[in-house]
């Protein structure tokens, strides 16, 4: 399963995994996922998707994560509930 991890989810998994929810920890730890990380580049397509998002949140990086999740049709692992308002699937 492909997942898009917010930066805090990666940091917490590596250094303070007790801060992750049980569902988030389980999804990241799933052997088929197993932190085989791939960095998504910032592309024009993602920037265009971000520009079309409603003005719910001013954090450009969170907006970019929402745009990437919508474009790639993947779940976001994040404690930040603002992603729910963008219509992306958030696992926490």
Order across the sheet with 3-5: list the strands.
3-5, 75-77, 90-91
pTM of the full predicted structure? 0.85
**Per-residue pLDDT in tens (0 to 9) along the chain, 92 residues:** 789 999 999 999 999 989 999 999 999 998 877 877 788 888 898 988 888 888 888 888 899 999 999 999 999 999 999 999 999 999 99
Q: Which of 74, 84, 59 is nearest to 50 (CA)?
A: 59
For the chain, the domain total comes to 1
pLDDT at site 41:
87
CATH number for the domain spanning 63: value is 3.40.50.1010
Contact (CB, 8 A) for 18 and 86: no
3-state secondary structure 15-71: HCHHHCCHHHHHHHHCCCCCCCCCCCCCCHHHHHHHHCCCCCCCCHHHHHHHHHHHH
Residue 37: give the domain boundaries. 3-91
């Amino acid at each position: 399963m492909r997942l898009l991890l917010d930066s805090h989810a990666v940091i917490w998994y590596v250094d303070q995994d007790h801060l992750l929810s049980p569902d988030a920890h389980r999804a990241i730890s799933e052997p088929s996922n197993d932190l085989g990380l791939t960095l998504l580049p910032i592309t024009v397509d993602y920037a265009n998707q971000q520009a079309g998002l409603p003005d719910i949140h001013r954090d450009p990086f969170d907006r970019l994560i929402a745009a990437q999740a919508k474009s790639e049709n993947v779940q976001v692992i994040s404690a930040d509930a603002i992603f729910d308002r963008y219509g992306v699937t958030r696992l926490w």
